[in-house]
Chain A
Amino acid sequence: MKTFLGMQRFLAGLTLATAAGFFALWVIEPAVHAAGSGQAAVAPAAPAHAATPAEAGGLLFQQNCTFCHGRDAMGGETGPDLTRSQLVLGDKDGSKISEVIRNGRIEKKMPPFAFSDQQLASLVAFIRERVTAAAAMNGKRRGVEVADLQTGNAESGKQYFDGAGGCSKCHSPTGDLAGIATRFQGLRLEERMLYPRDVKSKVTVTLPNGQTVAGTLAYLDEFTVGLRDANDTYRSWATANVKFKVDSPVEAHAEQFPKYTDADIHNLMAYLQTLR
């Protein structure tokens, strides 16, 4: 008897609590829910009284972007100077900027941000304002100019390329590197010279029956190896079930890091810049 009444009371209380809970959720939950990978930052609603889109974008920028891109969008901790970015400067209608913000740049550690179209437009307006402001500045700019990177000696760089650097084992000034300095300049050239990020590795997988499958490495963690085969078909295996060998010539760049002096790097830059 007691138990039954108690259960009724309990259920009534539970229903009430649940209703209260839903009500509280409805009132308290942030206005924007973002779906996705879990890497995007929540986007608080733009303030109701912002005078201009750029001001609204500025607030969003301060909350979410300044750690990497700096308060003035001119670069900060790990993030590039947006006022110099080719993508920003060449984006006529803001769609390219919006795409990068929405999708992030995972390989460069920029997370995606699930902002609304209006919020993206306000961010584009703010960034454009910053570009204009930066163009009006004399000195006081952070960032790396092409002129900053001209402290090396091209002849010494060529010797390093052919000698201690080991570069000529894989690269040729008249082959793959012909015209490299036309394709890339300044910081971009130096970053690629030191470690080109977009290079794909090859992998050969040996199945238990002895058959081998070769392709471009598409995924690798401790437990799974995946590749795109000759037909561009994605295939994967548990690493516990197969043997595999990754061929990553680009890792020679990483192996060189402990061996460089800073002079070697500046000299190499001077040499590569002659390859136009």
Chain B
Amino acid sequence: MKLHKHSWALAFAALALVIAARQPLSAQNLDNSEILKPKPDSWPLYHGDYSGKRHSSLTQITPKNVNKLSVAWAFQTNQSFEIKSSPILVDGVLYFTVPDQIWAVDARSGHRIWHFSQPTKKGLHIGHRGVAMLKGWLYFTTTDAHLISLNAKDGTVRWTKEIADVDKGYWTTMSPLIVGNHVIVGVSGDFDNLAGFLRSFDAETGATQWQWDSTPPVGTPNSTTGGMTWMTGTYDPELNLIYWGTGNPTPVLNGKTRPGDDLYTCSIVALNPDTGKLAWGFSISPHDTHDWDAVETPVLVDADFHGQPRKMLMQASRNGYFFVLDRTNGKSLLTTPYGPTNWALGVDKEGHPIPNPDKEPSPDGRLIAPDEGGLTNYRAPSFDPKTGLFIVDAHPSYSIYFAKPADGAYGWAGADYGLWGKGVIDAIDYQTGKIRWTHDLGGNGSGAGVLTTDSGLTITGDGSGNVLALDTSNGKTLWHAGTGAGMESSPTTYELDGRQYILTGNGSLLFAWALPQ
């Protein structure tokens, strides 16, 4: 009898120990190591991992069984901003945003755990890409250009810091990038001649650690401003470099007051995340006059390029060109169009497109391909290592651009009008830039972000509200579901309790798709 009692006690104690060891003492806790090597049951930052490939190793959902995919749960936000954020998933809780609001949702059931709402009067409510997380804290950029740190358990505010002066014309929408104890934040603001920048905040205290400015200070003669940093960058932990795309110069459509390449607007820059020092910068659109921000994901890929192993950075850029760079030094490996373009005279020997002066906005108008929204925009591409395909939502389009002296040299300084466009998903062979397959999305003009998985699936959407699962090898549709609203964001995926979920934000609803249990 006694023996039995002790055995039970011992067994119970052992079990308790095992359970305690498996579950972190405080849940909703994200270490740097877990961002560095995300587990299948997490999506710890905007891109899913530091490389920005948006490619998952999960294989439960396959080309063979995806036709059984159905709604596991849907979360109704009961408001009407479209979801443009990528939900992050840590310890079974999803966190996602729209301007002014954050939801924490149970990733198993889809029910709300808490909701944060702080309506702001200032700043443009154009959209929001999501929160970042470190330890037990969330980091949220506000429409009026502040950084808020909140307790992930309940959404209470720890501290608020100003990022930029909203009254000058800045606003913020992006999901911060966290490297070490650095919360790295970028800004928006195209209607004024403002300098774009990246700023690193201390994750604990919110103190400013460093700031990197995209352009010379406002007021520098014959110089540009702009270079807004409104999408999340990527990070190489071995090289210890963050990679960031910068936005267009200001004044936007008038380049006369800013001769030259207008560095570092429309560029990809590599910075040291501990100091903010520039390692190298590459001009994606030298002397841009068409508003083609180069803020699209700088995707990091380690693979062979023409027979040689390379650490690469790839970007399908708004200006219509696909770039492959050596990310150790910023040298160009490949620059080629991935759709209709008509604004460049060619590509120089350093891999920069050469803008045609005759295609700058003019008083009587110039026909430009692509339109101002660009051949692609903020919705994410995906790189699939198995096929070597860089898959991107593209928008072949034409527009007319005008600028005349009376439009001045401040802010927009001109006018442009889209004429026609359509939506496609292009699968680009990264070694040649050739498009191996194209999936037509119809005339509604825009698709969605792209996610690929190791089982050979490409998850995306069309402009009519259909979520699509395509065969990565040939682009053919394997499954679809109509959701009533286009996906203005990029899909994510995770595995919980042995079940794989794919998340899409459609309109104001968040859908979790999974195979039947």
Contacts and interface: CB of A to CB of B under 8 A. Distances in A.
Contacts of B348: none
A203 interface: no
B219 interface: no
A265 B367 contact: yes
A235 interface: no
A221 B466 contact: yes
B398 to A, nearest CB: 5
Interface in A164-203: 187, 190-191, 194-195
A241 interface: no
Given A222-B462, A257-B420, A262-B366, A139 B406 contact: yes
B48 to A, nearest CB: 25
Interface of A: 21, 24-25, 28-30, 33-42, 44-45, 47, 59, 62-64, 66-67, 70-71, 75-78, 81, 109, 114, 139-144, 148-151, 187, 190-191, 194-195, 220-223, 253-254, 257-258, 260, 262, 265-266
A30 B81 CA distance: 12
A66 B191 contact: yes
A143 B400 CA distance: 12
Contact of B407 (A24, A141, A190): A141
A41 B80 contact: yes
Contacts of A59: 121
Task: Label chain A's interface by main secondary structure.
Answer: loop
B115 A144 contact: no
Nearest to A250: B420
A28 B117 contact: yes
Nearest to B83: A38
A79 to B, nearest CB: 10
14 contacts: A28-B116, A36-B80, A37-B507, A44-B120, A62-B123, A63-B143, A77-B190, A140-B406, A142-B414, A144-B402, A149-B364, A194-B367, A194-B420, A222-B441
The number of chain B residues touching the other chain, given as a range, is 35 or more
Contacts of A39: 80, 82, 485, 507
B398 A63 contact: no
Given A76-B191, A144-B365, 19 more contacts: A24-B114, A38-B509, A44-B119, A63-B121, A75-B415, A77-B372, A139-B406, A148-B402, A151-B363, A220-B442, A221-B444, A222-B464, A222-B466, A253-B420, A257-B340, A257-B419, A258-B342, A262-B367, A265-B365
B364 A143 contact: no
Contacts of B406: 139-141
Nearest to B122: A62
Contact of A38 (B82, B123, B464): B82
Interface in B384-416: 398, 400, 402, 404, 406-408, 411-416
